[in-house]
Chains A and B, each alone.
Chain A
C-alpha cells in the first residue's frame, strides 16, 4: 500500500457543458474510482460549478480547503483569477495541480498543453499541403479566455512563418459546432476564396456545414477531436479523398493530473511545469481513432500511474 492510501484528492472543474468536459469527468471517475478501490487514495471526488465562472470556482476551492482535502486538481476558469484561492490552499498545506486551464500561481503545479504550438502547427501543416499558400479563415474560441488567446497567438506566429498565408476572416465559434456554423455562415459571403480553415477544436464540423450550405469548395479544415468532426472527415475522405489533420488536447489529461497529484503527495520530486503532447490524429490514424471513440463523444487518452511517472522523470 502506497503512502497516499489515506489521502483525499478533489477535482475542481469550472464547466461541464460540452462533450469534452463530460469525457474529462468520465475519465476522472473511471481512473479515480479504480484508484480508491485499489487503496491508492482515500477518495477522488469531482466538483463542478454551474457556470463557467472564476468567482464561483474560487469559492469552490475555498470550500475544498475547509473540507480538508490533501490535494486539489483544478481545470481553471482563468489562469490568474483563481490565484488568491490557490494561494490560500497552498498556505493550508494542500497540493494544487492544474491542467488544461492552468493557473499562474507559482505554488501550483501545471500540466500544460502547448496551445501556442498547437496553433502554429496548424499553419505549418497547411503550408505542407498548400505550398502556394492562400487565404485562411480562423475560427476562434471564447473571447477573453486564455486558451483562445494562446492558440490564436500560435496561429499568428504560423502565418508570420509562412507568409504566403493570409487570414482574411476571423470569427468566434466559442468551441461549439452550432455557434461556429452560424458565425461562419455570416462571414462567408463577404470572403474571397478560402483554402484553409484554422480552428480550436469543437468547431470543425460546424464550419464544414456552413461552407457546404454556402455552396463553396471545401477548403482544408483543421479538425479538433470531437467524434462528429472526425466522422465528417472520414466520410469526406471516402467520398472524395479529403485530407486533413486533427490537433487537440485529450480530456483524459485530467487523469494525468490526478496521478501527478498522487505522486506529489507520495513525496515524489516533481517539477512545477510539465508538458503533455497534444493529441494528433492524421489521415493514417483516423480510422483507428474513430473506432475507439464512442459516437458523439471525444477522442481521448487516459493515463496510468506509470504514464505519470514517466512524464515526471522525463521532465526531471
Chain B
C-alpha cells in the first residue's frame, strides 16, 4: 500500500461505521453520546500505539493486554495508596520493557515468544497484586478521565491529542525516523554506526510508556481494576495497528491510523449492540464485522497488487 493512501482506509472505515451508528442510534450524535461511544476507546488507542511501537521495529507484542492489566492493578493499588512507590513500579516496568527489547535484539530471540512469556509474567504479577478485583482509582486520574471540555467531549480530545503527539514523535522527529529505519532495514542502521540494541530498547520503552498510560486511563474510567481487565487489548491493539494501515514488517506504521483503527474497533462493538442480534450470533457477528472492516482494505490494495505491489514491497 502506498504511504499516501495508507491513511485513507482507516478514515473511511471510521466514517462509514460512524454514519451507520448515528443512523441506528441518533442519540449517539451528541456530546454525551460521543463520549459514551468513545471514552473506553482511549485506553485502547494508547495500547494500540504501544503495540505500534513494537510492530514498527518488526516485532510483535503478545503481552500488551496483560501488561495493561498489570499497570491497572498497580494504579488501583500502589499509585493510589502510595503514589511514589506506584510511580517507581511503573517506571521500573517501562525499564523492563526496554530491557526486553534489548534482550530480544542481542540474543536474536523471536519477539513473539519472549512477549508471550512476558504475558504470563505480567499476568502473574497482576494476580499477585490483586488476587480478587478491587482497588480504587486515584482521584486525579478520575478527574482527568471525567473532565468535560467545552464543545468536544474528553474522549475525542484525548484521541486527537494522542494521534497528534505520536505523529510528531514517530513520523516527524529525527529520532522517530531512526526508529522506523530499524524496521525498514536494521542492517543499514547498524552499518551507519547506530546501536540497534539501543534503538530497539528505545522503541520497547516507548511501548511500555504508552502501555502504562493505557493502564492508568483505563482505571480512570473503570474506577478499579482486576488482573484480567485488559487481556483483550493484545488482539485489539494488533488489529488496530493493521486496520490503521500498518504492516507487520518493514517499519510501515501510522500513528494517526492506529488511533483511528482503535476507534473503529470500539465503534464496531457499539454498532453490533445497536443491531440487536440474537444472543447465539452476537459473538459471531463480532467476528463478521472485523472481517468486514478489514476487507475494505482490499479496495485499497487491489490497485497496487500484482507485480507492481510486489515490486514496491
Contacts and interface: CB of A to CB of B under 8 A. Distances in A.
Interface of A: 13, 16, 25, 29, 45-56, 58-60, 62-68, 77-85, 87-88, 104, 142-146, 148-150
Nearest to B218: A55
Interface in B60-87: none
23 contacts: A16-B282, A29-B279, A48-B279, A53-B232, A58-B40, A58-B221, A59-B270, A62-B40, A63-B270, A63-B273, A66-B25, A67-B274, A68-B27, A78-B229, A80-B134, A80-B223, A84-B221, A84-B223, A143-B131, A144-B132, A145-B133, A148-B132, A149-B131
A80 B131 contact: no
Q: Which 10 A-B pairs have the closest CB atoms?
A: A144-B227, A80-B224, A149-B132, A63-B273, A62-B36, A81-B222, A50-B286, A50-B283, A83-B223, A78-B133
Interface in B129-162: 130-135
Max chain B CB contacts within 10 Å: which of A48, A52, A55, A87? Answer: A55
Contacts of B27: 66-68
Given A56-B232, A66-B270, A145-B133, 8 more contacts: A47-B273, A51-B231, A62-B39, A66-B25, A66-B274, A85-B222, A88-B36, A143-B131
A59 B227 contact: no
Contacts of A82: 222
A29 B278 CA distance: 10
A77 B229 CA distance: 9
A29 B282 CA distance: 15
A143 B127 contact: yes
B132 A146 contact: yes
A144 B276 contact: no
Contact of B126 (A55, A87, A144, A150): A144
B228 A145 contact: yes
A25 B279 contact: yes
A59 B233 CA distance: 14
A186 B270 CA distance: 43
Contact of B226 (A48, A54, A59, A65): A54
Max chain A CB contacts within 10 Å: which of B132, B134, B233? Answer: B132
B133 A144 contact: yes
Contacts of B127: 143-144
Interface size class of B (residues with CB under 8 A): 35 or more
A225 B249 CA distance: 50
B57 interface: no
Interface in B253-277: 266, 269-270, 273-274, 276
Nearest to B221: A84
Interface of B: 25, 27-28, 33, 36-37, 39-40, 43-44, 126-127, 130-135, 218, 221-233, 266, 269-270, 273-274, 276, 279, 282-283, 286-287
B198 to A, nearest CB: 34
Contacts of A80: 133-135, 222-226
A58 B42 CA distance: 13
Contacts of B25: 66-67
A112 B266 CA distance: 31
A79 B273 CA distance: 22
Nearest to B41: A59
A81 B273 CA distance: 20
Given A79-B133, A146-B133, A63 B228 contact: no
A52 B133 CA distance: 14
Contacts of B33: 66
Nearest to B129: A144
A50 B132 CA distance: 22
Contacts of A79: 133-134
A135 B58 CA distance: 52
